[in-house]
C-alpha cells in the first residue's frame, strides 16, 4: 500500500490534505477500527453524494437529524456480514453507521434511511442489545430487528420510500440463506433462534403493506421447512399485536419474553 504523505488528499474523502485531517487523529481512527472492523470515512462525503441524487432522502434526513441529535460517524467495512449496520453509544451521543462500500449506491438508500431510523430509536430510549463473548453479532442483530425493523420500516413506507424493492432485495439475499440452513430437526439453539426471529420480523413487516401487492416468498420457505418454528413465531406475532410496540417499555418487555422463549438469556444482554 502506498504511504500517505502529509500533502496527499486524506483517504477519508473529506477533501482536506492528510496533514490537516486524519493525520491528527490516529487514536480516533484506531477506535473506529476496533468498534467496526472498518475505516473511518467522512460523513459529509457520504451524505452529500447520497442526497444530491435523491431528494426524498435529503428531506427525510433534514427531518430526522435534529431528532437524533447525535454525532453521526461512518465507517467502511468491506467484510461486513450485512449491507449496513448502525451502532449507538451507551450515552446516546454518538451513532456509527457501518457500510460495505462508498459512495453508497442508490439501491441502498432505503438501507441508509433505515439505519438512521435505528439511531433515532436508540435516542428515544428503545433497547439495545449486546451478545456474549464468542456469540456472532448476527444473533443479537436479528433479535432486535425482530421488533425494531417493522417499526422503522413502517415509518419509511409512510414517508414514501420504496419498501417493495427493499422486500425484493431481502428475498434475493435471505431466501437462499434459509434454504442453505439445516432441516428443522438439525438446528442448534442459535440457528433456531435466528430462524424464529427472522420469521417474526417478516410476518410483522408484511402487515405494513397489502399482501396482494407482492407475494410473500418467505412464507413458503419457512412454512414448509420450519413448521414448528413457524407456529411458535406466529404465536409470538399474535402476542406482539395484543401488547403493542408503540413505546420503548413495551418493546423491552416483548424482547425479554422472546429471549426467554428462545432460551437465549446467557447469549444476549438487553441494555
User: Rounded to an integer, what is the distance from CA 92 to the centroid of its chain?
Assistant: 17
In the chain, the largest separation of any two C-alpha atoms, in whole Å, equals 62
Cα–Cα distance measured from residue 267 to residue 146, given in angstroms and rounded to the nearest whole number: 16
Sign of the alpha-carbon dihedral angle for 107, 170, 217, 153: negative
Rg (CA), the chain: 20
* Half-sphere exposure for 271 (CA within 13 Å, toward CB): 15
* Half-sphere exposure for 26 (CA within 13 Å, toward CB): 2
Q: What pLDDT sits at residue 200?
A: 97
3-state secondary structure of 129: strand
**Mean pLDDT, contiguous 10-residue spans, the chain (271 residues):** 89 97 96 97 97 94 95 96 91 96 95 97 95 94 96 96 92 90 96 96 89 81 94 98 97 98 98 93
Q: What pLDDT sits at residue 217?
A: 87
Containing H/E element for 72?
strand 71-76
3-state secondary structure of 74: strand
Give me 181's grid cell.
Answer: 440452513
Sign of the alpha-carbon dihedral angle for 154, 160, 162, 164: positive
Cα–Cα distance measured from residue 271 to residue 263, given in angstroms and rounded to the nearest whole number: 17
Kindly report the pTM of this predicted structure: 0.94
Q: What pLDDT sits at residue 214?
A: 82
Q: What pLDDT sits at residue 144?
A: 95
Q: What pLDDT sits at residue 254?
A: 98
Give me 214's grid cell.
Answer: 407482492
Amino acid at each position: 500500500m502506498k504511504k500517505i504523505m502529509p500533502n496527499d488528499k486524506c483517504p477519508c474523502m473529506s477533501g482536506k490534505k492528510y496533514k490537516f485531517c486524519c493525520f491528527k487523529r490516529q487514536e480516533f481512527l484506531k477506535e473506529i477500527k476496533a468498534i467496526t472492523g472498518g475505516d473511518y470515512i467522512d460523513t459529509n462525503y457520504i451524505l452529500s453524494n447520497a442526497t444530491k441524487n435523491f431528494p426524498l432522502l435529503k428531506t427525510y434526513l433534514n427531518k430526522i437529524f435534529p431528532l437524533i441529535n447525535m454525532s453521526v460517524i461512518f465507517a467502511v467495512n468491506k467484510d461486513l456480514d450485512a449491507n449496513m449496520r448502525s451502532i449507538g453509544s451507551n450515552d446516546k451521543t454518538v451513532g456509527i453507521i457501518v457500510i460495505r462500500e462508498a459512495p453508497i449506491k442508490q439501491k441502498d438508500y432505503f438501507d441508509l434511511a433505515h439505519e438512521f431510523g435505528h439511531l433515532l430509536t436508540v435516542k428515544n430510549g428503545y433497547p439495545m442489545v449486546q451478545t456474549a463473548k464468542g456469540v456472532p453479532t448476527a444473533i443479537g442483530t436479528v433479535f432486535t430487528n425482530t421488533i425494531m425493523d417493522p417499526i422503522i420500516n413502517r415509518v419509511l413506507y409512510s414517508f414514501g420510500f420504496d419498501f417493495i424493492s427493499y422486500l425484493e432485495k431481502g428475498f434475493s439475499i435471505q431466501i437462499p440463506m434459509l434454504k442453505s440452513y439445516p432441516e428443522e430437526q438439525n438446528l442448534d439453539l442459535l440457528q433456531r433462534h435466528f430462524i424464529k426471529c427472522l420469521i417474526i420480523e417478516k410476518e410483522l413487516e408484511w402487515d405494513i403493506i397489502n399482501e396482494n401487492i407482492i407475494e410473500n416468498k418467505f412464507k413458503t420457505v419457512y412454512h414448509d421447512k420450519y413448521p414448528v418454528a413457524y407456529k411458535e413465531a406466529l404465536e409470538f406475532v399474535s402476542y406482539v399485536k395484543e401488547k403493542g410496540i408503540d413505546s420503548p417499555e413495551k418493546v423491552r418487555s416483548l424482547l425479554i419474553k422472546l429471549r426467554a422463549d428462545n432460551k437465549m438469556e446467557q447469549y444476549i444482554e438487553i441494555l
